[in-house]
Chain A
Amino acid sequence: MSTILVVDDEYVIADILGYALEDAGYKVEKAPNGKTALDVLEKVRIDLVITDYMMPIMNGEELAKAIRSNAQFADLPVILMSGAQASIGKAIPDLFSAVFDKPFDTASMVARVRAFIGVAEAGRDTPELQ
């Protein structure tokens, strides 16, 4: 089962997106900032990261840079979701595989995730995905 790491200091957003991804059959890990996200990456095998930009301790750009600088995660897709800073993310396509403007439609986010890592096995039989 593919695991997605959702990084956002705003727990409501992390929760809502997490539920949507779980409904689609993915396993979800959460982290409230970039630094905790790196800790999670050390311990858990992650297939895709969705991160906010503006966060305490370590922001989304710093997190993406740390991920890219680690050869182990060279191919790990990182999606940025941000309102005010989406343009910053779009300006550095090397760091982010995709950029979503907040607020976004969770269905389109799930669709994009699927495009990156394929349909989650557990989600194959769920009616809304057919």
Chain B
Amino acid sequence: MEQLKRLATGIEGLDDLLKGGLVAGSSYIVQGRPGSGKTILANQLAFNHVATGGRVLVATLLSESHERLFQYLSTLSFFDPALVGNQLQFVSAFDTLESEGLEAVVKLLRGEIGRQGASLLIVDGLLNARSRAENVLDTKKFISELQGHAAFAGCTLLLLTSSRLDDGSPEHTMVDGVIELGEDLYGARSVRRIQLRKTRGSGALSGVHECEITEQGLKVYPRLEALYSHPSSPGSEVLTRVGTGLASLDDLLGGGFPSASVSLAMGPSGIGKTSLGLSFLAGATVAEPGLHFGFYETPQRLRIKAKAIGIDLPALEKSGAVHLAWQPTTEGLLDGVGARLLSHVRKHRIKRVLIDSLGAFARLATNQGRLNEFFRALMGELRAEDVTVLATWEMRDLFGSEINAPASELSSIVDNLFLMRFVELDAELKRLLSILKVRDSEYDPALLELVIRSTGIELDKAFVQASAVMSGTASSAQGA
């Protein structure tokens, strides 16, 4: 199979969508309303291309001045004015278009491609070409001639337009790819999106992906389930056990969590899910480090919480056995946060992760319908890295006999399920931990009482003499 030569965009995530970059020598339309990020995408690509030894010609068919563009680009980290006028040429073809028409623009640009030795040509204001064209054939001819000259010179062509051209438009039918940028509102939150509407001759990741614009320019977060439709590695074939951090729980599980498995601890607020997770993380070593990927507690709060149960978190952090990554819930896009988790895991060769909580993670989603696929891909990728995961899930009800499982689809993603509840017994409020499910393994189904002490968490088989414990209001079996 032939491999097409690629022109890497250097834009985070975009090359993943494009499976390596734009196809060199091909032509693309970048479309989106004003403010959607077309100009940033194109210029970021231009500066990145120059950094890899390319030469770029940016031609505008718009009346807007380049100086204004430079002023605005100067707020972005990739902009380097020293390259402008050298490897990067900005020329205006507006006057030529106005006074001489499309053919003259083609002639001008053909000459400029050669003069600049350009390997990338960016033409802004495609809509103006259409307005100047007398008929559809003129527009087609304009694009086809530009494509021809660019391809002949080995130059990749990017056409920018603020109009929303539809799939049947002459412009779309002619080019090799269409990249659409946009923005959607979710409540008061605005989320940028990017979509490859057409990609010829390459297995690009289709569909809509979220993106953001920061001081570094555009960042694209490919939908995790699209990026990892197959886990990137098969993972280990040997099933070992990873200590839970609690000897008594290890006993019940036959030695600990199965390695590279995903466990979910469900329970109401205050039941001790994070404490359970911190005990798990405390078992991490420098050789097999752990990661706290949290959404609620700041690192400071977490250290205090750990200290209260006898865990010296700062010492673990200092040694490199435990890493903390705090995600403020109000910030971030689902796939961006997922990618960040994977990047931490790969960077520090993490072997155990506490996700606290999976519910907060899920709330980042703008489309709840894809959560199952998202978490399936994320967990699949963590398994591929031989990471043992413990995630928490907050249940709404503190008491009551009803137990609501997290979205049924989520249960299918986790291997092991733990339920934590408050139980009233003998005029005392107790914490209960029970194992609901362990995939492919035997386990002891005893109900355990979880006692949080300053020396750590202890688990006792405290409910042997009680019944109806799971209802939340247990009664002493002896008295019955």
Do residues A84 and B85 form an inter-chain contact, with CB atoms below 8 A? yes
Do residues A88 and B91 form an inter-chain contact, with CB atoms below 8 A? no
- One digit per residue, 1 when the CB lies within 8 angstroms of any chain A CB and 0 when it does not, for chain B 78-112 equals 00010011000111111110100000000010011
Given A10, A32, A88, which contacts B66 in the complex, CB threshold below 8 Å? Answer: A10
Assuming the contacts A54-B85, A88-B85, asked whether A83 and B66 have C-beta atoms less than 8 A apart, the reply is yes
Do residues A10 and B89 form an inter-chain contact, with CB atoms below 8 A? no
A45 at interface by CB-CB < 8 Å:
no
List A contacts of B112 (CB < 8 A). 56-57
* Complex Cα gap A10–B91 (Å): 8
Assuming the contacts A9-B91, A102-B67, asked whether A57 and B85 have C-beta atoms less than 8 A apart, the reply is no
Interface residues of A in 1-43 (CB under 8 A from B): 9-13, 32
Nearest CB on B from A9, distance (A): 4
List 28 A–B pairs whose Cβ atoms lie within 8 Å, in order of A's numbering. Answer: A9-B92, A9-B94, A10-B63, A10-B66, A10-B92, A12-B63, A12-B64, A12-B65, A13-B67, A53-B85, A54-B66, A54-B84, A54-B85, A55-B92, A56-B112, A56-B115, A57-B108, A57-B111, A57-B115, A59-B85, A82-B85, A83-B67, A83-B70, A84-B81, A84-B84, A85-B84, A85-B85, A103-B71
Tell me which of B84, B94, B95 has the highest count of chain A C-beta atoms within 10 A of its own C-beta.
Answer: B95
Assuming the contacts A11-B63, A32-B96, A83-B67, asked whether A56 and B91 have C-beta atoms less than 8 A apart, the reply is yes
* Complex Cα gap A55–B108 (Å): 11
List A contacts of B94 (CB < 8 A). 9-11
List A contacts of B65 (CB < 8 A). 10, 12-13, 102
Nearest CB on A from B296, distance (A): 47
Number of interface residues of A (CB under 8 A): 19
Number of CB contacts from chain A to chain B under 8 A:
63
Nearest CB on A from B353, distance (A): 47
Do residues B89 and A54 form an inter-chain contact, with CB atoms below 8 A? yes
List B contacts of A54 (CB < 8 A). 66, 84-85, 89-91
* Complex Cα gap A58–B47 (Å): 23
List B contacts of A13 (CB < 8 A). 65, 67
List A contacts of B95 (CB < 8 A). 9-11, 32
Do residues A84 and B70 form an inter-chain contact, with CB atoms below 8 A? yes
- One digit per residue, 1 when the CB lies within 8 angstroms of any chain B CB and 0 when it does not, for chain A 69-87 equals 0000000000000111100
Q: Is the interface of A mostly helix, strand, loop or mixed?
A: loop
Nearest CB on B from A37, distance (A): 13
List A contacts of B66 (CB < 8 A). 10, 54, 83
Do residues B67 and A11 form an inter-chain contact, with CB atoms below 8 A? no
**Which single residue of chain B is at the shortest CB-CB distance from A82?**
B85
Interface residues of A in 49-72 (CB under 8 A from B): 53-57, 59
Q: A11-B63, A11-B94 are in contact. List 12 more A-B contacts (CB 8 A).
A: A9-B95, A11-B92, A11-B98, A13-B67, A54-B66, A56-B91, A56-B96, A56-B108, A57-B112, A83-B67, A85-B85, A103-B71
* Complex Cα gap A84–B43 (Å): 15
List B contacts of A10 (CB < 8 A). 63, 65-66, 92, 94-95
Q: Which 8 A-B pairs have the closest CB atoms?
A: A84-B84, A85-B85, A9-B92, A56-B91, A11-B95, A102-B67, A84-B81, A10-B92
List B contacts of A85 (CB < 8 A). 84-85
**Which single residue of chain B is at the shortest CB-CB distance from A32?**
B95
Nearest CB on A from B148, distance (A): 19
Given B81, B91, B98, which contacts A55 in the complex, CB threshold below 8 Å? Answer: B91
Do residues B84 and A56 form an inter-chain contact, with CB atoms below 8 A? no
Interface residues of B in 266-303 (CB under 8 A from A): none
* Complex Cα gap A55–B93 (Å): 9
